[in-house]
Amino acid sequence: MNSRLLMAGILSVCLAGAGQAQPAQPQSGPRQLPARTIPVPDTVSPQMRALIAQPVNPIWNVVPKTSAEWKALVAKNAAESIPAIRAMRAALHVKVEPAAIAGVKAYIVTPDVTPPANRNRLLLYFHGGGFVLRPGEAGLAEAIELAGFGHYKVISVDYRMSPDFPYPAAMDDAMAVYREALKTIKPKNIGIFGTSAGGSITLATVLRARTEGLPLPGAIAPGTPWSDMTKTGDSYFTNDGIDNVLVSNDGFWGAAALLYANGHDLKDPQLSPVYGDMHGFPPTILTSGTRDLFLSNTVRVHRKMRQAGVEAELQVFEGLSHAQYYRDITAPETIDYNSEIARFFDKHLGH
């Protein structure tokens, strides 16, 4: 109420234009913004400055028309990312072994030294990429980081993806691996994490485990989760074109959502977990960036969890677009991110 009175109160005072022109906007309603230029922030590391300064990711408005076109894009993207993944693995002294767990393809990612406190703990990791990108080794980046920086054993689940295996294949694979892990590891000793689509899988796994009467994991770390596939949430609009990783929902990512849903309701909490009931969730740490198209996807889950009494933490990285926080293992932000996630699991997982 103050702001309305404030506005009414200053009309008699002289106006002095200073700085950028703003359009007149006498009516209530949508915000009209003029064209503008947003500088690269100087409040981030040089490594992140370089990522933020990159042109917008040209994938954003690519919409493959056929299954073959989707697969060609996925294969080319994956092949080209492998050298960087292998370099990261070597730099962080992490061992990566392919495996099949309950029939699901996966990688067992092991640090060179596992501290005693982590010997009976296990992290399950789900990579991002719109439920279509980053099969195989291409999905390993964050698993390698948390093994290397956090000294955790991580199972990186190479879940089945679109276009051949739309929803619920990814969730079926996630649940199969989780059920298998429960056979040998105490639930309180299991952590689950993942970014973007992997953040959605992380949340949906907890929802489905509860529905199926399974014990819940000890803690989870959904990074900038794709918690709402319906383009609902303010940052889908405010950060459109500001985020240089996702750029916009209206192109590749919106198409990837429909490809994954394959006719299922996008508002089903298994696809858009922000619509799920968060009561009883384990301790959760959520991560985003101020330029992230999914900032609202992240903070909406955080608020909903807090309202449900969940011990939920939020961290938002200055200036970063979607998932940039884990993009450069030499950047202080990436080290900070991994330190926070490891600290959170250290604190909340059982021994």
Considering only residues 46 through 65, tell me which ones interact with a second copy, judged by CB under 8 A: 50-51, 53-65
CB 200 within 8 A of CB 266: no
Token representation of residue 154: 């991580």
CB 143 within 8 A of CB 125: yes
Q: Which of residues 123-142 bind a second copy (CB under 8 A)?
A: 133, 141
The sign of the CA dihedral 111, 113, 114, 117 is negative
Beta carbon nearer to a second copy, 179 or 231: 231
Residue 183 as a binder of a second copy (CB under 8 A): the answer is: no
DSSP three-state, residue 44: coil
The tokens 């968060």 sit on which residue?
Answer: 278
Beta carbon nearer to a second copy, 29 or 213: 29
Q: Which of residues 224-253 bind a second copy (CB under 8 A)?
A: 232-235, 237-242, 244-245, 247-251
Q: Give the start-end residues of each E strand in 48-189.
A: 94-101, 104-111, 122-126, 154-157
In this structure, what DSSP letter does residue 103 have? T
The tokens 């940052």 sit on which residue?
Answer: 235
Residue 272 as a binder of a second copy (CB under 8 A): the answer is: no
Q: Which of residues 83-102 bind a second copy (CB under 8 A)?
A: 84
CA distances from 235 to 224, 229, 243, 321 (A): 12, 13, 10, 11
Q: Residues 145-174 vs a second copy: string with x where CB under 8 A?
A: ------------------------------
| Binding region for a second copy (CB under 8 A) out of 98-106, 159-167, 177-185, 322-330 | 322-330
Residue 311 as a binder of a second copy (CB under 8 A): the answer is: no
Cα–Cα dist 273/278, whole Å: 9
| Binding region for a second copy (CB under 8 A) out of 99-107, 158-166, 218-226, 290-298 | 290-298
Token representation of residue 114: 């596992």
Beta carbon nearer to a second copy, 302 or 348: 302
Q: How far is the CB of 211 from a second copy (least distance, A)?
A: 25
| Binding region for a second copy (CB under 8 A) out of 11-19, 104-112, 118-126, 187-195 | 11-19
Residue 1 as a binder of a second copy (CB under 8 A): the answer is: yes
Residue 328 as a binder of a second copy (CB under 8 A): the answer is: yes
221, containing H or E segment? strand 219-223
Residues counted in the chain: 351
Residue 258 as a binder of a second copy (CB under 8 A): the answer is: no
Residue 33 as a binder of a second copy (CB under 8 A): the answer is: yes
